[in-house]
Every structure is written in C-alpha cells, then in structure tokens.
Amino acid sequence: MNEWVLAGLNGTNPLAFLAAIGTLRVSTLAFPDRTPRMRWAIWEGAWRPWLSIEATVDVETWLEGIDRVLREETGHIAFGIADNLNLPIEAFRKVGRDAMELARPNDRRYADFLAAFGSDAVESVVNGKRSGMMADTALRTMSGAGHQHFLGFMRTLAKDNEIKDIRSALLGRWTYSDPGPSMRWDPNDDRRYALRWLEPSGDPIRTVRGANRLAIEGIPLLPTMPVKGRLETTGFTQEKRRQAVWSWPIWKQQIGLKVLSSLISLPELQKDNPDRNALMAMGIAEVYRCDRITEGKYRNFTIAHPV
C-alpha cells in the first residue's frame, strides 16, 4: 500500500474536514478496485488525514484520477437544478424522479447529491409560516443575497477547478491566495465587521479553491432525512431557537467509504458529553464541534472545538 499525509487539511476546520471526506469519496469513485482508505494522525501539531491506496497508484496517478472524476459531467448534474436550494416542492420532487431514473449501481452521484441537498417531504418555514419550498441541508450557507448562489457557486468551482488547485489544497499549506467563490464553510469566511480592524465588505474574497471543490464532494456523505416533521442533516443537531451545531469524528484506523458513512452518522457524536470509552472502542480519538451562525442573510461556521 502507498500512504501519504494530506498536509493541507486540518481536522479542526469544518471546510478541511468536509474536503477530507470528499477526497475519500472521489478517490473511491476514481479507483474503486484499489481500496482507498483514510485515517487521521497528529502531524505538525494538528490532526491530518492520511490516505492509503494500493501500491500501483502513486501520488500523481491519484491526483489525475481525482481530477478526472471531478470533471465528469454526471457529477455536475445536481449543481444545475437551480441557482439555490429554494425550489418549490413539486419542482424538487421532479428532479428527484429524474435522478432516480438516471441512477445506476456504479453511478448514483446525481441521486446522492439530491438526497443531501434536501427533501420534498418537508416544507421550509419562513417567519413561522410554511413556504411551499423544499427544506434544505444545514450545510447551505447562502441563497442568493448579494449575488451569492449556493448551487451557482458549485457550478463555478466545478468549471474552473484545475489539478493544481487540488494538489495545493491537499498536499500544501493553505495560503488563501485563490479568488472566490467560497462556499462559506471555512471559519475564515466569517467577515463580520466586529471581528475586523476595518470594514470588510469591500475586501476581495480569498480562499482555497481546491478545498472548496473537494468539500462539495463530501456533501453526499451527509444526507438529509425528515424526522418528526422537520428536516435533519447527518452530523447536525438543532434545537428550537438555537443555532445548528455540527459534530464530526476523528478516527485513527484506516477505513473505507462505507465504514465512514456509518461512522459520521453515529448518534453518540451528537451528545453533549459523548461516551469516550464507547467512541475509543470504535477507533474514534476525538470529536470536534462547531456552530453554524447566521449573520444577516448569510451563514458561516465557527472554529471547532474538541468535545
């Protein structure tokens, strides 16, 4: 087996974690017979993911495989259903039927994205009233205000991303030298005036393009589900009148994509005080948690802390 550290990804950063699981998902799509696996270990002062794959695949071959999958059009269909996740329920139901008909045993990317985007079984509530629109994922950070479009930005990132962006996001240090758009999953995207020396609205957006692109591919691993009349997103908890909270695990053993899907959905991760002994028995060394905050018409995520 070949194994290398993804030095650019810090497990305490929500964008980096989403990019890490997106990387494992895309690696599995690119090399389904080469058993890609991932674990986390402390490296240079932070939890970093280590990816392993059969020895016939070296780093450059792996990066080329990721780039190939990211460019495949079947992975982009879901980004084109609208500019934002505010479709009428019937419209979202129709694209869901289309995705079901297009799904194949070896390619269900369209359907997997839609299952993570939202549901036609639950209406969103605006100002205490049902809107007739689909309820959507807790990962949604924008919905058109200020020309920031959740799905529109995904299309831009899918179109403009290059292999050099993937390489620098995964294997290099994040320099925040890329122009936008950003999906607003990085705590550094929080540009509130109170946190800045100068009023920040005119500052150019600087981000890590490859990390945002890979993080998009992590979304299908956090599907939504109607629960007691409301829509829940895997990994998130939200009580009435409180901000959503996102919790994720850091594991020490090499695991594949199917095990990862089970691991990140463990109910124990969402408890105020998770059972450490139970989690350690499953190979989970740490649990990180961050808040999703709303500022005006935008959402951001805070810096995560260990639980």
- pLDDT tens digit string along 85-109? 999 999 999 999 999 999 998 889 9
Q: Residue 283 — φ and ψ, nearest 5°?
A: 85, 10
Q: What is the mean pLDDT of residues 272-281?
A: 96
Per domain, the residue ranges of the chain are 2-306
Q: Quote the percentage of the chain above a pLDDT of 70.
A: 95
Contact 216, 183 (CB under 8 A): yes
Give 112-164 pLDDT, tens digit per residue.
999 999 999 999 988 788 889 999 999 999 999 989 999 999 999 999 999 99
Q: What is the mean pLDDT of residues 79-89?
A: 98
DSSP 42-58: EETTEEEEEEEE-TT--
- According to the model, what pLDDT value does residue 55 have? 86
Amino acid at 62: W
Give 165-175 pLDDT, tens digit per residue.
999 999 999 99
N residues, the chain: 307
Contact 297, 143 (CB under 8 A): yes
Give 178-236 pLDDT, tens digit per residue.
999 999 999 999 866 555 555 555 667 799 999 999 999 999 999 999 999 999 999 99
Q: How far apart are CA 131 and CA 127, in angstroms?
A: 9
- According to the model, what pLDDT value does residue 301 have? 97
On the question of pLDDT at 279 being above 60, the answer is yes
On the question of pLDDT at 23 being above 70, the answer is yes
- According to the model, what pLDDT value does residue 203 have? 67
Q: Which of 29-33, 190-194, 279-283, 295-299 has the lowest mean pLDDT?
A: 190-194
On the question of pLDDT at 58 being above 80, the answer is yes
- Which DSSP helix (H) or strand (E) runs through 233? strand 230-233
- According to the model, what pLDDT value does residue 202 have? 61
End-to-end, the C-alpha distance of the chain in Å comes to: 33
- According to the model, what pLDDT value does residue 197 have? 59
| pLDDT averaged over every residue in the chain | 94
